[in-house]
Structure 1
């Protein structure tokens, strides 16, 4: 199996009418590796307001993965009553710990994040813009603001926007300091946050996006203020694929994003994603979908255990496709020069 360069992958995909991009956490780690990793998030998380038990679970499971712990806690709460009908109170405590950890994760993501776009250099913005302009639609599994900042930077430079995220001024409220998403605005949408994002907030009756342009307040400061007011972002942090699907189905934006991803055709490039089981819902969408060519980014030694798993899972997507052929290729992720 050959690992081709990113430029060769682009050339091979020219036979397809469209190119799409799916971004994983590696996109953010490539920009700021000292911030965007679960280990780093765990080090910076403030557990002081939680019961000691919620923090100790990490140590007992020997992990720093928030999603894994949240998933295990929720599973534990569900099965307790099977063994002991009198354990309802304990099950409730465990479930509450899971919800509290989810909120800690959101707060930690907001706190440990570049404070404003100026912390990203002009050369980093330029490289990322060049990379993104290769694609028709962009789908991200990340919660952070990096992708949004790059897209806004393009507009600020008076360049043609590379994407439309579907958010507009709320109807009848042109003075609002935020924009909202409605299904009717999604017909031309080409940028989707498949698991939500830090700047997307569920106001109960509408999905809002906080922007700097309407307030002159840094996005990260607006997010922190919202968190203090107990308003939390649309944010899929469940540990298992099935739980993520359940959360997605109960939110109009996330459900529409998932349907959009499932309907794409042509070529799909995956960058910065391990094809892990907890995102199996999107991997199955590829297997069942209309994509003809799949290009998966491989970072580092292709013979490492992690990369062998990625290669095996991607190869299986091609063999499991039933209705039409799916050609699978692998490209050197570093050769894409996403940030430098």
Structure 2
């Protein structure tokens, strides 16, 4: 018996709590996000040298951010102790330059996707919380667009200035000229987040048009390293999450705060991301809706079995057409 895949409009009135976004959401905006991995992109484009590849092999990871942070910390220790170690410094610069080149090659500029932002902001407005697993700037740009509309709805990322306020639930209350709001979180980090030399976590701010370049320039100057988990196994990603106060707070608290309904859009729920669904299973979810591209019955069968295995409480599962009207970029 095949699973029924409905138009979004048929079930949308039952889902308004949390929206979980995977890489398919970014691919729907720009096809350049259809890459295997940042590391593989760098290899395919001849950006790696032998030393950089040795670092990835030694630490048994594909995560650019982790390798960059490890080598960056090593260079800072060498400078503090006045140790002359040009090879470590060169390796740091090469890993950094590889990451910058990969992001520049893959990530579209604001102007290339600005026509999609109104539809995305309209769709996100229908949820109390938006949780994006993507490191790119699409959701952030849509937030900025939505906040400029002055339509009595506000998107908030729970940062005050450049610092995260861990009393994040208080931002869910509408106040002032706003009747409603949506809170936005990134459990795997984002390009807008960075660490300084003392491991302080910051949000990088700039105008929407120049934000991508502002982020990359801060990396180039060496004052910050990025805070996002780009690749790796489930266990490696969990370790990276635990190393960050922001990521760990989102993982422990936000993912377990879902009330009643969860919408999953553009997420393949691969083995490397099972920690996310395992965490959501500890919440009060009673209904989950998964987006489906085409008539992928194999995906429907796999995720419905996954819900039965992971969720202890009864949970109703729905499937909807990712390309139906009023959904994401079709809003």
Q: Measured at CA, do residues 235 and 128 of structure 1 come closer, stay the same or move farther in structure 2, by a change above 3 Å?
A: same
Check the 8 A contact 2:20/2:263 in 1, yes or no: yes
Is 1:168 aligned with 2:170? no
Question: How far off is 1:311 after superposition?
Answer: 3.2
Question: How far off is 1:226 after superposition?
Answer: 1.3
Is 1:158 aligned with 2:141? no
Runs of 4 or more above 6 Å deviation: 96-103
Q: Measured at CA, do residues 121 and 221 of structure 1 come closer, stay the same or move farther in structure 2, by a change above 3 Å?
A: closer
Question: How far off is 1:52 after superposition?
Answer: 7.5
Check the 8 A contact 2:22/2:133 in 1, yes or no: yes
CA distance in 2, matches of 1:286, 1:186: 17
Within 5 Å, which residues of 2 pair with 1:78-89?
Answer: none
Instruction: Summarize deviations over 1:187-223 as a string: whole Å, max 9, x none.
Output: 326110110000111123532212224xx97111111
Check the 8 A contact 2:61/2:236 in 1, yes or no: no
Is 1:232 aligned with 2:232? no
Instruction: Summarize deviations over 1:106-126 as a string: whole Å, max 9, x none.
Output: 65124432223x32244x222
CA distance in 2, matches of 1:38, 1:239: 15
CA distance in 1, matches of 2:140, 2:132: 10
Is 1:187 aligned with 2:147? no
What SS does the aligned partner of 2:190 have?
strand
CA distance in 2, matches of 1:274, 1:329: 15
State the partner residue of 1:89.
none
Is 1:333 aligned with 2:322? yes
State the partner residue of 1:38.
35
State the partner residue of 2:306.
316
CA distance in 2, matches of 1:167, 1:286: 23
Structure 1 unaligned runs (5+)? 59-66, 75-92, 170-178
Instruction: Summarize deviations over 1:32-57 as a string: whole Å, max 9, x none.
Output: 01x112248545665445218839x9
Is 1:138 aligned with 2:138? no
Is 1:199 aligned with 2:192? yes
CA distance in 2, matches of 1:296, 1:102: 36
Cα root mean square deviation, aligned: 3.4
Q: Measured at CA, do residues 102 and 265 of structure 1 come closer, stay the same or move farther in structure 2, by a change above 3 Å?
A: farther
TM-score normalised by L of structure 2: 0.75
Structure 2 unaligned runs (5+)? 68-86, 173-182
Question: How far off is 1:315 after superposition?
Answer: 3.0
CA distance in 2, matches of 1:296, 1:217: 32
CA distance in 2, matches of 1:70, 1:197: 14
What SS does the aligned partner of 2:192 have?
strand
State the partner residue of 1:80.
none
Q: Alignment partner for residue 20 of structure 2, among 22, 38, 53? A: 22
TM-score normalised by L of structure 1: 0.74
Q: Measured at CA, do residues 20 and 104 of structure 1 come closer, stay the same or move farther in structure 2, by a change above 3 Å?
A: same
Q: Measured at CA, do residues 25 and 320 of structure 1 come closer, stay the same or move farther in structure 2, by a change above 3 Å?
A: closer
